[in-house]
């Protein structure tokens, strides 16, 4: 049962990112940082890991004169997140 | 109470999904203050209508249809009353929600708040313009039910982005509004019920369910 848990989601931050992206379209860096309560550097490294796994899609653009980076879950990322949640549920003791 | 770690993890994930899509800082006290202000405004309106010399027998126009003479003044008084009530209610509602957002450490103007506002404002603005048209055609008697119906639709629509109680508040306003449409004489009474009593009822419910004691339980 345990092996079904996604290794990439062992980090609470990474799982948190996927949870937010599962229910929102594009979420920018600042919003993620505030929702998860983590530092910029910490968030960036986790996002890079998710990006490399092709679980999140990155969009960089300018809002006015400020650079703005937003993230979105890819189809594969959303699937992996749901599978991970199912696996967690399997771990729950049956009532 | 100790829980299975998987339970805690799922609860954390659910919380994150909720917080990122819904505006949860909406304070129940906002509803209570808005309701109290509305009741005060309705009382004042009733007082002016009783004191007005014009014949109020024509319920559709509140007696304002007859050439816009003495009743004209009454209509202006009622509109002024309504505007003051609206702003006092909004101000009070904003203050309590602002206070709560500081406590829950959710930003007051985040993406979820913006979504809530847009979904609320579109039906509400349409309703506002609709009511202006009713005044324009000399049918102020229809304004009370119309405000209830449009407010109910706005709440029902916006409830996806905030606390669940708002959905029920919206449905209740819709029912009241529809009943009021067929009972125009009692328009002000229904208006007072919808904007006064329902706000106080659901506001208290939200306060008791989500806010009382959250300062100690929220880590």
User: Of B176, B177, B157, nearest to B167 (Cα)?
Assistant: B157
Chain B CB contacts of A36 below 8 Å = 16
Contact A18, A73 (CB under 8 A): yes
Chain B CB contacts of A85 below 8 Å = 10, 13
- Domain locations in chain A as residue ranges: 2-91
Let me know if residue B16 belongs to a domain.
no
Residue A5: pLDDT band by 50, 70, 90 thresholds? Answer: confident
How many domains are there within chain B? 1
Domain coverage including residue B103? 26-213
Phi, psi of B182 (to 5 degrees): -100, 10
pLDDT in tens, A13-22: 999 999 999 9
Q: SS3 string of A24-90?
A: CCCEEHHHHHHHHCCCHHHHHHHHHHHHHCCCEEEEEEEECCEEEEEEEECHHHHHHHHHHHHHHHH
Lowest-confidence region among A25-34, A72-81, B28-37, B67-76: B67-76
- pLDDT, block means (10 residues), chain B with 219 residues: 73 88 90 95 87 58 50 80 90 90 79 89 95 89 94 95 94 97 92 96 94 57
Q: Calculate mean pLDDT across residues A30-42.
A: 90
pLDDT surpassing 60 at residue A88: yes
Let me know if residue B20 belongs to a domain.
no
Let me know if residue B7 belongs to a domain.
no
Let me know if residue B186 belongs to a domain.
yes
The pLDDT, as a whole number, for residue B101 is 87
Let me know if residue B91 belongs to a domain.
yes
Q: Calculate mean pLDDT across residues A54-66.
A: 91
Tokens encoding B45: 């309106």
Let me know if residue B183 belongs to a domain.
yes
Q: Which of A6, A70, A88, A89 to mutate to test the interface with B (most CBs of B within 10 A)?
A: A88
Residue A94: pLDDT band by 50, 70, 90 thresholds? Answer: low
The pLDDT, as a whole number, for residue B139 is 87
Chain A CB contacts of B21 below 8 Å = 23-24
Residue B110 and residue A34: Cβ atoms within 8 Å?
Answer: yes
What is A2-91's CATH number?
1.10.10.10
Predicted complex ipTM: 0.80
pLDDT in tens, B67-101: 444 567 788 888 889 889 989 998 999 999 999 88
The pLDDT, as a whole number, for residue B218 is 41
pLDDT surpassing 90 at residue A57: yes
Residue A20 and residue B17: Cβ atoms within 8 Å?
Answer: yes
Q: A38 or B63: whose pLDDT is higher?
A: A38
Residue B12 and residue A12: Cβ atoms within 8 Å?
Answer: yes
Let me know if residue B149 belongs to a domain.
yes
Please name the residue of chain B whose CA is at the shortest distance from the CA of residue A26: B111
Strand order in the sheet with A66-73: A27-28, A66-73, A56-63
- End-to-end CA, chain A: 18
């Amino acid at each position: 049962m345990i092996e079904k848990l996604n290794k990439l989601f062992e980090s609470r931050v990474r799982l948190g990112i996927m949870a937010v992206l599962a229910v929102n379209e594009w979420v920018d860096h600042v919003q993620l940082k505030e929702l998860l309560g983590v530092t910029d550097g910490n968030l960036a490294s986790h996002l890079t890991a998710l990006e490399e796994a092709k679980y999140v899609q990155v969009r960089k653009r300018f809002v006015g004169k400020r650079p703005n980076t937003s993230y979105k879950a890819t189809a594969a990322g959303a699937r992996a997140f749901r599978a991970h949640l199912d696996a967690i549920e399997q771990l729950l003791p049956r009532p | 109470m100790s829980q299975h770690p998987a339970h805690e993890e799922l609860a954390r994930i659910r919380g994150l999904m909720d917080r990122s899509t819904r505006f949860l800082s909406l304070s129940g006290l906002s509803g209570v203050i808005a309701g109290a202000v509305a009741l005060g405004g309705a009382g004042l309106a009733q007082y002016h209508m009783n004191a007005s010399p014009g014949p109020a027998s024509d319920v559709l126009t509140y007696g304002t249809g007859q050439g816009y003479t003495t009743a004209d003044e009454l209509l202006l008084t009622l509109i002024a009353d309504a505007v003051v009530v609206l702003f006092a209610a909004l101000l009070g509602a904003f203050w309590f929600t602002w206070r709560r957002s500081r406590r829950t450490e959710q930003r007051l103007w985040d993406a979820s708040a913006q979504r809530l506002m847009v979904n609320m404002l579109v039906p509400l603005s349409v309703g506002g313009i609709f009511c202006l048209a009713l005044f324009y055609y000399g049918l102020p008697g229809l304004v009370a039910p119309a405000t209830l119906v449009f407010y109910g639709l706005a709440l029902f629509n916006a409830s996806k982005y905030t606390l669940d109680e708002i959905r029920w508040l919206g449905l209740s306003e819709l029912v009241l509004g529809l009943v009021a449409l067929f009972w125009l004489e009692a328009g002000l009474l229904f208006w007072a019920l919808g904007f006064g009593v329902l706000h106080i009822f659901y506001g208290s419910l939200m306060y008791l369910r989500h806010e009382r004691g959250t300062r100690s339980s929220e880590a």
